[in-house]
Chain A
Amino acid sequence: MSLSTEGLLFRHPGFRLGPLDFTQRSGRLVVIGPSGSGKTTFLRLCAGLERPEEGRILFDGRELSGPSTFVPPARRNIGFVFQGLALWPHMRVREQIRFAARCSIETAEAWLDRVGLHGFGKRLPGELSGGEAQRVALARALAARPRLLLLDEPLRSVDPHRRADLQALIRDLCRELDIPMLAVTHDPEEALGLGDEICVLEDGRIRVQDGAAEICRNPRSAFAASFLLGASLLPLESRDGKVHSPFGSWPAPNGSGRVFLALLPGDLEPAGEGPIATVRDRREGLRGPVLEVELSGVRLLVPARDEERPATVALRLRGTPRLVTGGDGG
Chain B
Amino acid sequence: MRGRRKPLPPWGTIISLALFGLCAVLPLSWMFLESFFPDGSFGLDAWRNILATETERLQLLHSLILGLCATLFAVLLGSGLAWATFRTDLPGRRLLGPAGLLCLLYPPIVTAMAFADLSSAKGLPVVALLLAVSHAPFCIALTARGLRSVDGRYYEAALLARGRLRAELLLLRAVLPDILAGALLVFVFVLSNHGVPEFFSVKQKTWFVYSEAIFLRWSAPGKPGSLRSAEAVASSVPLLLLTGLVLYFCLKARRRGALVTVTSEFRPLPSRSLGIWKGPLFVFALVLPALGLALPTLRMCLWAAGSTANFGVSLEKALDSFRRVLVELSPDLGKTLGLASLAGLLVCALGLPLAWASVRRKRPWIEALGLLPMAVPGILLGIAFVRAWNAPHSPLRALYETPVLCVAGYGTRFLPLGILALANALRRFPASFDEAGVLAGAGFLRRFARIHLPLLLPSLVSVWILAYILGLRELDLAVILPPANDMVARRLANIVHFGNEDVGGALAVLLCFGAGLPLLLRILLTGRAGEAAS
Given a CB threshold of 8 Å, the question of whether A touches B is answered with yes
Query: Which A residues lie at the B interface, using CB under 8 A?
Result: 47, 49, 62, 71-80, 82-86, 88-91, 99-101, 140, 144, 147
* A99 and B439 in contact, given A72-B7, A75-B1, A91-B450 (Cβ under 8 angstroms): no
Known contacts A84-B263, A86-B430, A89-B262; is-contact A74 B443 (Cβ 8 Å): yes
Pair B454/A90 contact, Cβ less than 8 Å: yes
Most B CB atoms within 10 A — which of A49, A71, A85, A147?
Answer: A49
Q: How far is the CA of A17 from the CA of B451 in the complex (A)?
A: 32
The count of A-to-B residue pairs whose CB atoms sit within 8 angstroms is 75
- Per the 8 Å Cβ criterion, residues 431-460 of B in contact with A are 432-433, 435-443, 450-451, 454-455
Docked complex Cα distance between A91 and B1 (Å): 27
**Binary CB contact string for chain B from 409 to 438 against chain A (1 if under 8 A, 0 otherwise):** 000000000000000000000101101111
Which A residues are CB-close (under 8 A) to B442?
Answer: 74, 99
**What's the nearest-Cβ distance from chain A to residue B490, in Å?**
41
Q: In the complex, which of the residues B262, B432, B435, B455 contacts A73, with contact meaning CB atoms closer than 8 Å?
A: B435
Q: Please, what's the 1-or-0 string for B1-28, where 1 marks a CB less than 8 Å from any CB in chain A? A: 1111001000000000000000000000
A84 and B1 within 8 A (CB): no
Q: Output the least CB separation between B108 and chain A (Å).
A: 37
Interface of A is mostly: loop
Are B441 and A86 interface neighbours, CB within 8 A?
no
Write out, one digit per residue, whether chain B residues 51-82 have a CB within 8 A of any chain A CB (1) or not (0). Answer: 00000000000000000000000000000000
Chain B residue numbers with a CB within 8 Å of A72 are 4, 7, 438
Question: In the complex, A80 Cα to B263 Cα: how many Å?
Answer: 17
Q: List 12 A-B contacts (CB under 8 A).
A: A49-B439, A72-B4, A72-B7, A74-B441, A75-B441, A78-B439, A80-B436, A88-B455, A90-B455, A91-B450, A91-B454, A140-B436
The 5 A-B residue pairs with the shortest CB-CB distance, nearest first, are: A86-B432, A100-B440, A86-B436, A82-B432, A90-B454
Nearest-neighbor residue (CB-CB) of A72 within chain B: B7
Q: Which of B4, B432, B450 contacts A99 (CB 8 A)?
A: B450
- The complex places the Cα of A83 from the Cα of B442 at a distance, in Å, of 20
Residues of B within 8 A of A47 (CB): 435, 439
How far, in Å, is A18 (CB) from chain B's closest CB? 21
Within the complex, the shortest CB–CB distance from A177 to chain B, in Å, comes to 16
- Whether B432 and A77, one on each chain, are in contact in the complex, defined by CB atoms closer than 8 angstroms, is no
Residues of B within 8 A of A82 (CB): 432, 435-436
Name the residue on B nearest A81 (C-beta): B436
- Which residues of A are found within 8 Å of B433, using beta-carbon distances? 86, 88
Chain A residues, CB < 8 A from B263: 84-86, 89
A213 to chain B, nearest CB (A): 32
Rounded to whole angstroms, the CA-CA distance of A84 and B436 in the bound complex is: 11
Residues of B within 8 A of A100 (CB): 436, 440-441
Cα distance A76–B7 in the bound complex, in angstroms: 13
**Bound-state Cα–Cα, A47 to B441, Å:** 12
Complex CA gap A35/B430 in Å reads 20
Which residues from B are CB-within-8-Å of A80? 435-436, 439
B440 proximity list for chain A (CB < 8 A): 99-101, 140, 144
Chain A nearest CB, measured from B196 CB (Å) = 42
Residue of A nearest to B441 (CB): A74
List A contacts of B436 (CB < 8 A).
80, 82, 86, 88, 100, 140
| B435/A75 in contact, CB under 8 A | no
A42 nearest CB across to chain B (Å)? 15
Given contacts A72-B4, A91-B454, 20 further A-B contacts (CB under 8 A): A47-B439, A49-B435, A49-B438, A62-B1, A71-B1, A72-B438, A73-B438, A73-B439, A75-B4, A77-B441, A80-B435, A80-B436, A83-B432, A84-B263, A85-B263, A88-B433, A88-B455, A90-B454, A100-B436, A140-B436
A62 CA to B438 CA, complexed, in Å: 20
Nearest chain A CB to B2's CB is how many angstroms away? 5
Q: How far is the CA of A73 from the CA of B4 in the complex (A)?
A: 11
Q: List the A side residues contacting B4 at CB < 8 Å.
A: 72, 74-75
Question: Judging by beta carbons under 8 Å apart, are A144 and B441 in contact?
Answer: yes
Q: Which residue of A lies closest to B443 (CB)?
A: A74
Q: B3 — which chain A residues lie within 8 A by C-beta?
A: 75
Q: Give the one of A62, A78, A88 with max B CB within 10 A.
A: A88
A69 to chain B, nearest CB (A): 12
Q: Shortest Cβ distance from B263 into chain A, in angstroms?
A: 5
Distance between Cα atoms of A190 and B11 in the complex (Å): 44
The chain B residue sitting closest to A141, CB to CB, is B439
CA gap between A62 and B441 in the complex, in Å: 19
Q: Complex: how many Å from CA A275 to CA B7?
A: 67
- Cβ of A89: which chain B residues have Cβ within 8 Å of it? 262-263, 455
Please give the distance in Å from B25's CB to the nearest CB on chain A.
31
Asked if B450 and A84 sit within 8 Å, CB to CB, the answer is no
Q: What B residues does A79 contact at CB under 8 A?
A: 439
The distance in angstroms between the C-alpha atoms of A140 and B2, with both chains bound, is: 17
CB proximity of B75 to chain A, nearest CB, Å? 32
Cα distance A233–B347 in the bound complex, in angstroms: 64
CB distance from A79 to the nearest CB of B (A): 7
Query: For B262, what are the chain A residues with a Cβ–Cβ distance below 8 Å?
Result: 89
Residues of B within 8 A of A71 (CB): 1
Distance A79 CA – B441 CA, assembled complex (angstroms): 10
Closest to A60 in B: B1
CB-based nearest A residue for B2: A77
Name the distance in Å between A10's Cβ and chain B's nearest Cβ.
16
Interface centre among B1, B437, B454 (most CB of A within 10 A): B1
With the chains together, A85 CA to B443 CA distance in Å?
Answer: 20
CB-CB nearest in chain B for A71: B1
A84 & B430 in contact (Cβ 8 Å cutoff): yes
- Candidates B2, B432, B437, B454; contact of A75 at CB < 8 Å: B2
A61 CB, min distance to chain B CBs, angstroms? 12
CB distance from A75 to the nearest CB of B (A): 5
User: Given that A47-B439, A73-B439, A99-B437 are contacting pairs, would A88 and B451 also be in contact in the complex, using a CB cutoff of 8 Å?
Assistant: yes
Cα distance, A312 to B197, chains bound together (Å): 90
In the complex, residue of chain B having the shortest beta-carbon distance to the beta carbon of A101: B440
B425 to chain A, nearest CB (A): 13
Query: Closest CB of chain B to A108's CB: distance in Å?
Result: 13
